Amino acid sequence: MGVSRDEAWRLFCEWTESDSLRRHVLGVEAAMRAYAREGGEDEELWAATGILHDLDYERYPDPDTGHPRLAVAELERRDYPPELVDAVAGHAEYLGVPRTTPLARTLFAVDELSGFVAACARVRPEGIHGLTPKSVKKKLKQASFAAAVDREQVHRGAEELGVDFDTHVAKVIAAMEERATELDLKGDGSAWAGGGRHRARGRAAAMNGRERQSAVYTGGVSGRRPRVPVAPERLADAARRAMSEQAYAYVATGAGAERTMAANRDAFDRWRIVPRMLRDASERRLETELFGRTLPAPVLLAPIGVLELAHPGADLAAGRAAAAEGIPMIFSSQASRPMEEVAAAMGEAPRWFQLYWSTSNDLLESFVARAERCGCEAIVVTLDTTLLGWRPRDLDLAYLPFLRGKGIAQYTSDPVFRGMLDRPGDDGGSERSPQINLAALRTLIALTRAYPDRFLRALRSGRARAAVERFVAIYSRPSLTWEDLPFLRERTRLPIVLKGILHPDDARRALDHGMDGIVVSNHGGRQVDGAIATLDALPEILEAVDGRAPVLLDSGIRGGADAFKALALGASAVLLGRPYVYGLAVAGEAGVREVIQNVVGELDLTLGLAGGSATAELEPGALTRV
């Protein structure tokens, strides 16, 4: 049977809530219509194909098991034209469906390109108006810009159509420009830099401190207090009450006697802000640029594993909160949901991926490839966890969440890792097995439920337990050295950021090995007891880097004044860790948003009250050491 454009749009909207994904398919539709008109084809059919090609992307983004297989099945069930169904299947190269019709070849040619054109338009004050093929080709050469877009596919699409590349780009631009308002491409000077196919635009500017204060105080007039405590100590206490004893201990406590955790806070106390008076603070700018992306504030959500300890569906909630506030989230290797699902929930908002260097190079390559496909804009390699730190509170509770199947979703969703479960392990796992009793059986049931398969099948096959055992054996490589870094550098065009640097010589070596950035971090005091505080390590590392790469900082950031001090000393941005997990525990997605708003709001007011007008212009002279 035939299908009208309006019917296709109604179906797509039933399956998809994301505004960014809706805009993407409308952009593809515009390009498809232009080619249909030029070739005398059925414009309604071609428009419907452009809309329906991503029917299942929001619900089932995993290319190994989902998109576009579920869309194809639904379209076949509805008896839609075979030409349309084949084109939808053919636009995903990994399915191996040949593109034998003009419809299929055109969809393949305009899909990635239309997303890239939209990304280019959104970084221009005038939007898509005046955008040229020359500008688009220049951006295509910038690997860090809209890194999720497959450049090779963009060029090959034009080749399959038999169309000159510049002519092809110009046609897509013109088609989308006709619908600039509908596609949100008119331009306003506040769009994100970075783009990507299935991402939603974030906030153009962070909520300033006065707005945040007003929202809270106005609520107080009606008797409403913030659900998420503003004071750091009260926030942590509220999270403790909301979480289990084991979960809170895993998140909140540190290595040994927690001297490193204390040192992190003491270091912030030793640096004092010196306010300057009578400097116009009516307008304050928090924007910063990292790897070609302009961010509304120099704050990122740090990679934190096993977020499900704080809240069900936590990774998705944190991702949506970060997207709503316009700040990047760094996906953890030890996440509770696959990166593809969180990326789809975030829309166009920026995200990075944190990598634990596995003993399996194949798995490492697979993780990086997946991160690239789902639009991550940088790879953050955590260096300080080649061994697990000595954490007395976790040891007293005999609690490690990974042994219960928690925090291993990146692994169980990975085709390379799942393939490992089909062959005997040679990675050395634990020599001890748990004593079989009621508690062990409960744990077996819990980890089986966490495994992405039918419960009884996973239980009978033993794959859930095998996944936990294999994860423990391979997730980290104690033998990692500087000589391993070229392996990663050769396998991704994304910026690589090394996290865990505390010595200036290591910072120099990182740059000498082609790394693109550094996070000064001691893992929040969770790895080495008695280590140097990150704020104490920062000045010498900045001197060693000498402006050649961004230097970020985490460990100990509890509010906007802390962020101000790190930025004044020279950090490019800060990573927020435990506070957002506490907000997540107290109020889910809304809790994370409130924590971000509180930190950014305090940073904004501190900047103004200290006599500054832009965080990018802060200098060490704004501080004194006591």
Known catalytic residues are 523
**How far is residue 72's CA from residue 69's CA, in Å, rounded to a whole number?**
5
Q: Could you give the angle at the alpha carbon of 343 between the alpha carbons of 339 and 348, nearest 5°?
A: 155
Cis peptide before 275 (omega within 30 of 0): no
Query: Is residue 27 within 8 Å of 115, Cβ to Cβ?
Result: yes
Cβ-in-10-Å burial (0-12, 13-18, 19+) of 135 comes to middle
- Bridge-partner residues for 573, per DSSP? 552
Consecutive H or E run containing 272:
strand 271-273
- The token pair at 614 is 């832009």
Cβ-in-10-Å burial (0-12, 13-18, 19+) of 175 comes to buried
Pairing assessment for the beta strands 517-520 and 496-501 based on DSSP bridges: parallel
Query: Is residue 587 within 8 Å of 594, Cβ to Cβ?
Result: yes
| Strands in 447-596 per DSSP E | 496-501, 517-520, 551-553, 573-576
Cα atoms in the Cβ-side hemisphere of radius 13 Å centred on 106: 26
**How far is residue 497's CA from residue 511's CA, in Å, rounded to a whole number?**
10
**How far is residue 372's CA from residue 173's CA, in Å, rounded to a whole number?**
25
**How far is residue 595's CA from residue 311's CA, in Å, rounded to a whole number?**
15
**How far is residue 246's CA from residue 261's CA, in Å, rounded to a whole number?**
19
**How far is residue 227's CA from residue 547's CA, in Å, rounded to a whole number?**
41
